[in-house]
């Protein structure tokens, strides 16, 4: 590892390309999801080794419920398996697991597995992994707006006291803004991922399907981040 690399504090990964990875091999889409979600474990642990403090992983969007029932069901069962068993290794690595998204209409068994891993990893402090599951950026902004309006209606907040900090505090999780968003699979879009948090993020779109996204590719992505000149609206340095 290059000691001089700047490591982004909050990295988001849009986990995409599982279906095409499987199709290319003559496998079912389910096989692709299995391969992709198992790859996630390796990527999480490597992120911790790199010194990343927050990793947000987009694994299921609110819109993904539009997919065939069979595919959705397969994914739900896979999540149960990962959070109940497979991701125990994340906990052993000092990783704290949290979730962003709406609970409804996730099945009870998925919610239980999510609660379990959150509880079992709550005292960990090496890195935070935020799974965006049944997550939509637009829905998050809608839910945030409703929470703040409710505080005003209840007399707990004055309109003039609403600031950008109020927005950040009322999103699903209190996280720093994203520094870097990586979308595997080659598509050049956000697909409703962390719209507010990505305001000043750098973007990287490797043409690699997620099940093939290895540690080396992640390292290369961080090298690419180091070539960017972030300005936040100021002058070029």
Q: How far is the CB of 2 from ligand IPE (least distance, A)?
A: 29
Number of residues assigned to the chain: 237
Residue 64 binding: pick among ligand IPE, Mg ion, none (C-beta 5-8 Å cut-off by kind): ligand IPE
> Which C-beta is closer to Mg ion: that of 16 or that of 179?
16
Distance (Å, whole) CA 207 – CA 40: 17
Residue of 16, 130, 179, 192 with catalytic role:
16
Q: How far is the CB of 233 from ligand IPE (least distance, A)?
A: 28
> Does 16 interact with Mg ion (rule: CB under 5 A)?
yes
> Does 36 interact with Mg ion (rule: CB under 5 A)?
no
> Does 202 interact with Mg ion (rule: CB under 5 A)?
no
Q: 20 burial class (0-12, 13-18, 19+ CB within 10 angstroms)?
A: middle
Catalytic status, residue 64: yes
Distance (Å, whole) CA 5 – CA 18: 30
Q: How far is the CB of 13 from Mg ion (least distance, A)?
A: 13
Residues near ligand IPE, by CB under 6 A: 14-20, 58-61, 64, 75, 185, 187, 189, 191
Residue of 18, 64, 85, 93 with catalytic role:
64
Q: Is 5 helix (H, G, I), strand (E, B) or coil?
A: coil
Distance (Å, whole) CA 143 – CA 162: 16
Task: Pull the structure tokens for residue 63.
Answer: 């819109």
DSSP H or E stretch at residue 132: strand 127-135
Q: Which residues bind Mg ion (CB under 5 A)?
A: 16
Active-site residues, by number, are 16, 64
């Amino acid at each position: 590892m290059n000691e001089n690399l700047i490591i982004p504090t909050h990295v988001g990964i849009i986990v995409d390309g599982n279906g095409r990875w499987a199709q290319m091999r003559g496998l079912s889409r389910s096989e692709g999801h299995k391969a992709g979600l198992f790859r996630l474990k390796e990527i999480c642990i490597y992120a911790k080794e790199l010194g990343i403090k927050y990793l947000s992983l987009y694994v299921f969007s609110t819109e993904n419920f539009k997919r065939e029932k069979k595919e959705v069901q397969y994914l739900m069962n896979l999540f149960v398996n990962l959070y109940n068993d497979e991701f125990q290794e994340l906990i052993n690595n000092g990783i704290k697991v949290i979730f962003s998204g709406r609970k409804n209409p996730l099945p009870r068994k998925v919610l239980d597995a999510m609660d379990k891993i959150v509880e079992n990893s709550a005292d960990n402090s090496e890195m935070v992994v935020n799974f965006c599951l049944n997550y939509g950026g637009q829905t998050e902004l809608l839910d945030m707006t409703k929470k703040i309006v409710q505080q005003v209606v209840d007399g707990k907040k004055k309109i003039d006291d609403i600031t950008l900090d109020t927005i950040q505090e009322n999103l699903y999780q209190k996280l720093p803004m994203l520094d870097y968003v990586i979308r595997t699979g080659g598509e050049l879009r956000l697909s409703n991922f962390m719209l507010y948090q990505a305001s000043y993020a750098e973007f990287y779109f490797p043409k690699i399907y997620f099940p093939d996204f290895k540690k080396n590719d992640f390292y290369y992505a961080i090298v690419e981040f180091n070539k960017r000149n972030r300005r936040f609206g100021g002058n070029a340095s």
